[in-house]
Structure 1
């Protein structure tokens, strides 16, 4: 998520500083890895002293949790909006796949953190994040099941397995997508959707 997208609600000076610190944390976590990163690294990224940084965020774990929450909440809002606006279930599934690929390509630093640092979350903090992820996956599953009901098609796998396959393909692009390559994030999303959708009829 770009810095402007991670801005907390409200427009106060403190909100702006928190936004800057969060953006710096994303850059540091993505570049160095969560475990190797320090609050000093993040403070340096925004030109703050370490005591000043602690005025806004108590621990780097707090920052990591917020990154997960922001990504998953935005993904869930977007998925629900796509389904609500789609003229039929097939278009809903297509839109969900395209958007997932496009979002992942556009926010490779964020998705690298989300997919590679989950083990750093203690169980009490990981549980609500897992609930957010399940809510997002449920939106995709409902759209897939609705399309299967319309088409009368039977998949050679459970619908949930198909959803996991689609999301796995979409999410993995953070590893290899090249912004300087020939395809925009959305163009790549359209291609991935074109490969996956025929299975649904």
Structure 2
């Protein structure tokens, strides 16, 4: 029985590794030529599999796209929770979360390009399911912002927390479009600069409506 279990685990591990290879090839090809212009034949060739073998791992192109979205959303939410939990204060959590998001986006530009530009290729039911998971990330950010504001009643936002969160995420997510690894800043350096700029209006010392120290 132990030997059978070992064999099953090995088979499962190999299958998971093969799926990761297929996903990596799909990200590269989707990113280069777009989801709609890519065929399953091209993905099979890119990973060195026959088409029937590829269908053993993924039934169709849409399943591949959904898996890419799911993996990104799951990892983002997991890392966001860990980042917030490890922070000393809600403000530190907000700053660290923005830095993390910039770093992740800059280091995974091809992946994020697919997530931001191929969403319309998902069917309505699948899109709604993924939207629920994306909202969980945004809700975590919003809840942390509200905790920070509750602890600093002298701070006043010129917009609702939800709008502020969407503004911040829009700014950091867009780095996939313009960040260049050959530029003068590392992703972490850029992340810190962007986080400081975006959160300047809610820092306890210089919040909107608060008096700056003399």
Q: Which residue of 2 aligns with 1:99?
A: 100
Match of residue 51 from structure 1: 52
Q: Which runs of 5+ in 2 are unaligned?
A: 1-10, 204-214
Question: C-alpha offsets along residues 69-104 of structure 1, whole Å, 9 cap, x if unaligned?
Answer: 000000000111111111111101001110011100
2:184 paired residue number: 182
CA distance, structure 2, for counterparts of residue 166 and residue 183 of structure 1: 20
| 1:118 aligned partner | 119
Native 8 Å contact 1:43 1:50 kept in 2: yes
Name which one, 1 or 2, has greater alpha-carbon Rg.
Answer: 2
Using the TM superposition, name which of 12-21 and 71-80 deviates more. 12-21
| Cα RMSD for the two superposed structures | 1.1
SS, match of residue 182 in structure 2? coil
CA distance in 1, matches of 2:167, 2:126: 26
CA distance in 2, matches of 1:49, 1:180: 38
Q: Is the contact made by 1:144 and 1:200 (CA closer than 8 Å) also made in structure 2? A: no
Deviation at 1:198, TM superposition (A): 1.4
Q: TM-score, normalised by structure 2?
A: 0.87
Deviation, structure 1 residue 166: 0.3
Q: Which runs of 4+ in 1 moved over 2 A?
A: none
Asked if structure 2 preserves the Cα contact closer than 8 Å seen for 1:89 and 1:146, the reply is yes
How many Å separate the matches in 2 of 1:155 and 1:39?
A: 49
Residue 67 of structure 1 deviates from its aligned partner by 0.4
Residue 154 of structure 1 aligns to a residue whose secondary structure is coil
TM-score using structure 1 length: 0.93
**Aligned counterpart, 1:109:** 110
SS at match of 1:12: helix
Number of equivalences? 192
Shift of 1:191: 0.5
Using the alignment, how far apart are the partners of 2:22 and 2:97 within structure 1? 31
- Consecutive unaligned residues in structure 1, runs of 5 or more: 1-9
